[in-house]
Amino acid sequence: MDEPNPQIRERFEATRKVGRASMAYGNKSLAYSVYSSGYSGYPGYITSGYSGYGVSGYSLYPNAWSGENITFRQSAFVNQGDYEVSEESSFPIPFTQANLLSYEENQIQELIFRIRTFPSISCKELANRLLALFNYAKEEGASIAINSFRDFYSFLRLNPHLQCPTISLTPEYNIYVSWKADQNRVFSLHFLSNGDVRYVIFKPNERHPERQIRVSGSATIDILQETVASYGVWDWISVSETATIEIFQETVASHGVWSWVSE
């Protein structure tokens, strides 16, 4: 058999470790959201906002994502080897490398589908660009890093009204997006797989036009916008908010308008 892709092998090992670690807690039922997994630093911010958008694509990808909340029941077989854990799960835990890859691919396809159907995302081309990268990665026997993709998706949900970025994958298959304008304006984001995003900003120095300001740093997605606010990045990567009549209410919902105009 061919030597497995190192990226897949690494994630497989990580999954095995998570499986082993969870055994130490004995009998318990765990109900957790697939969107929240891995986001212990800011739980639930991905899940918020799903209701009401009417995305009905779940049935298209029945293998792994049959719903948002999944219940695991684990029994105590502590420290008795790698897999002596009894589980009743409505969700197939990917304990083989092939299953892991397929499980992650399903999640990524599901998220791309959501990006495609999410009405507020200004860049309609985004889903196609991501799908192209997904297919390229598949040709290499790999997949986009799922945690990086989830972070990118969260970022989009928080900031839907952005111009289309250029998207590429890092050698670790993380998402890297970049906006460029003029000769000397760059804003790039590297969605690491640990919940952090690293940013790079190049912008003109307004007082000294012949010079450029260059900064980089890292932040979590929820505070990224305020972290880089002083560099005025959002002014030039955003598109003005417009909406058709059909989606107007949900577009302005996040601004709380309906609560006071309905009275």
Question: Is 190 among the residues that bind other proteins (CB under 8 A)?
Answer: yes
Minimal distance in Å, beta carbon 212 to other proteins? 7
How far apart CA 15 and CA 6 sit, in angstroms, is 14
- Contact stretch for other proteins (CB under 8 A) within 26-34, 67-75, 104-112, 213-221: 213-221
Minimal distance in Å, beta carbon 198 to other proteins? 5
Nearer to other proteins, 73 or 214 (CB): 214
Residues 130-159 that bind other proteins (CB under 8 A): 132-133, 136-137, 139-140
Sheet strands side by side (includes 166-169): 166-169, 175-181, 185-191, 196-204, 212-220
- Residues contacting other proteins: total by CB under 8 A: 27
Nearer to other proteins, 109 or 188 (CB): 188
What are the Cα distances from residue 180, in Å, to 17, 122, 185, 231, 237? Answer: 40, 17, 6, 14, 9
Nearer to other proteins, 129 or 150 (CB): 129
Among 207, 204, 227, 208, smallest CA distance to 216 is for 227
Nearer to other proteins, 150 or 190 (CB): 190
Structure token digits, residue 78:
């502590």
Give the distance, in angstroms, between the CA of residue 171 and the centroid of all CA atoms in the same chain: 18
Contact (Cβ atoms closer than 8 angstroms) between residue 43 and residue 128:
no
Question: Is 168 among the residues that bind other proteins (CB under 8 A)?
Answer: yes
Minimal distance in Å, beta carbon 210 to other proteins? 13
Question: What letter would DSSP give residue 162?
Answer: B
Nearer to other proteins, 85 or 162 (CB): 162
| Member of 176, 179, 221, 251 binding other proteins (CB under 8 A) | 176
Among 191, 193, 39, 53, smallest CA distance to 113 is for 53
Among 144, 195, 203, smallest CA distance to 174 is for 144
| Member of 215, 229, 239, 247 binding other proteins (CB under 8 A) | 215
Minimal distance in Å, beta carbon 109 to other proteins? 17
If 0-12 CB within 10 Å is exposed, 13-18 middle and 19+ buried, where does residue 90 land? exposed
Nearer to other proteins, 114 or 190 (CB): 190
Minimal distance in Å, beta carbon 214 to other proteins? 6
- Contact stretch for other proteins (CB under 8 A) within 100-108, 113-121, 197-205, 224-232: 197-205
Question: Is 212 among the residues that bind other proteins (CB under 8 A)?
Answer: yes
If 0-12 CB within 10 Å is exposed, 13-18 middle and 19+ buried, where does residue 80 land? exposed
Identify the H or E element spanning 179.
Answer: strand 175-181
Question: Is 186 among the residues that bind other proteins (CB under 8 A)?
Answer: yes
Residues near other proteins (CB under 8 A): 129, 132-133, 136-137, 139-140, 166-173, 176, 178, 186, 188, 190, 198, 200, 202, 212, 214-216
